[in-house]
Chain A
């Protein structure tokens, strides 16, 4: 005997299964999430890459959920409390996904000379590396690199963009077999 809430869910599953048999991609199908508050809904967006259990072990997950970027105040290379929070998550993720290595890319805003900004970006990248290592990530898994002001995240010429450009981005890569 089926309760009222479960019935549409089953229908959604059946619809989804039926959709699999068709060549065309399924339309977004509303389902009732049994774990959500009453009346809440969820929209099926497609399968998670690598399956449900492996979903965390992706570059996308690291970028979007863990957070790959930390920001710095102007002319500063010390980590803010907010940056430390992000880096703690990065360290935790790296600890749990030993197949990944990381390159920390340091950046600077456009004001400042090219070569000084290269050095400034290197300091920022190194500050991130040191923090990750202090959190238990093996030093050999992290390299650093600076782009100075060569690769801004935002291109306007005021503080709203400079804030985004004074950054260090942790780029993770899954080491191939034999690497």
Chain B
């Protein structure tokens, strides 16, 4: 069973602010490439034990992977190949065998694989692909081979896309390879909302953008006329919630990404509203509402605007995040005297504290799988991103710096992205990501300062 892959929503890669291009209707494909010519000469015995990286907490040896030049139209094929390679090696789970050391250069996509030549360069896996451009569209076919056992790993697939969406086609291929070799769900074909920061530290100019997970294809959602904070994707990836000072006072707005139009969700002049987040079904917005200096978590019906308090305490309650089933919320509260993490059901009642380690805990994010909470912790003068189970057990620290905060989960729950701020008057925020094993800490390749990432869903 294979899902149909569609490319319905991306837009012009150079899109200027507030402009969007309309796209052709979704091109669809998920096609097994049959064909006897592709059948391997080797034995089929490894069907029950496919080539697989086990992602564990221990030190792992990256899987060696060969990605020879893609066939087809040379220029676009080379670009797609580079993105596929970057996606895979960027995980830290794969080591690419340089093309220069390859012993064979397959003449065509359909040529039979000579496994011995790939074994000779210690390749464990081989990606073969062909990219054809036909006017405004491209068509990409790929196959993955288990070099060790000498057979294809899964069926070949074909993706059709608009030429402008070539990066998405590349991410789809990399996602397939990643998924088949790790057993994890994919995440490369996804987007991240963020806040760009410019100007001096005491007068930052902020605007919200949406980009591919790897920092490409940036679309600007707001101009820089008013202070904006902490965008959060809806589960369907079509909307953003964020906090805006455009009225002079912080209020919540919702942005439709496709049309780049926003409207206020709260307009209460007597109360600040911030830290909004959607429930997974999009029905509820949980947020922080401040009145008379006291901040509680409130729930708003996204359709009607009707709202009610979920917590009612004289302490600070903020940074809500829904469980994947939408039934519970993890949030930050200082009711114990210091900020700690608590879980409450949507029906309300007494929340359960889950953080008991040293220091202060904040900005929790419930994992897509439902089993973990990522958080910010402050111990002494250092900040950390960490993860723990939803009952507070198995706490693990992933990072350590002057100031790390605000983790957001990759759609497959394997990676978190967060903001790392450097100290001092010239200090600035940068987006980083780290595997939840604590490995593979890396900055996102952006040529500007950015904060408050929110990782959206895997694109359809």
Contacts and interface: CB of A to CB of B under 8 A. Distances in A.
B201 A155 contact: yes
Contacts of A153: 202
Contacts of B451: 114
B202 A155 contact: yes
A116 B421 CA distance: 17
B381 interface: yes
Query: Which 9 A-B residue pairings sit nearest by Cβ, starting from the closest?
Result: A126-B293, A157-B423, A113-B362, A155-B425, A119-B295, A119-B316, A155-B201, A115-B275, A122-B290
Nearest to A161: B425
Given A150-B229, A156-B425, A116 B202 contact: no
B402 interface: yes
Contacts of B405: 113-114
A28 B262 CA distance: 55
Interface string B302-325: 000000000000001011000000
Given A111-B378, A127-B293, A157-B424, 17 more contacts: A110-B403, A111-B383, A111-B403, A113-B362, A114-B229, A114-B406, A114-B451, A116-B319, A116-B362, A116-B363, A120-B316, A123-B294, A145-B250, A150-B204, A155-B200, A155-B424, A156-B424
Contacts of B290: 118-119, 122, 146
A67 interface: no
Nearest to A151: B202
16 contacts: A113-B332, A113-B376, A113-B406, A115-B274, A115-B318, A115-B363, A116-B318, A116-B363, A118-B272, A119-B316, A123-B316, A130-B293, A144-B293, A151-B203, A156-B424, A157-B425
Interface of B: 200-204, 227, 229-230, 248-250, 269, 272, 274-275, 288, 290, 292-295, 316, 318-319, 332, 334, 339, 360, 362-363, 376, 378, 381, 383, 402-403, 405-406, 421, 423-425, 427, 451-452
Contact of A122 (B203, B272, B339, B406): B272
Contacts of A126: 292-294
A26 interface: no
A157 B402 contact: yes
A112 interface: yes
Given A113-B319, A155-B201, A157-B427, A118 B275 contact: yes
Contact of B318 (A110, A119, A130, A154): A119
B227 A150 contact: yes
A123 B293 contact: yes
Contacts of B202: 151-155
A110 B272 CA distance: 20
A115 B332 contact: yes
B274 A118 contact: yes
A144 B272 CA distance: 9
B403 A116 contact: no
A86 B36 CA distance: 86
Which of B201, B204, B229 counts the most chain A CB atoms within 10 A?
Answer: B201
Contacts of B272: 118, 122, 145-146
A151 B227 CA distance: 10
A130 to B, nearest CB: 8
Contacts of A150: 204, 227, 229
Nearest to B320: A115
A71 interface: no
Interface string A131-167: 0000000000001111100111111110000000000
Which of B295, B332, B421 counts the most chain A CB atoms within 10 A?
Answer: B295
A70 interface: no
B363 to A, nearest CB: 5
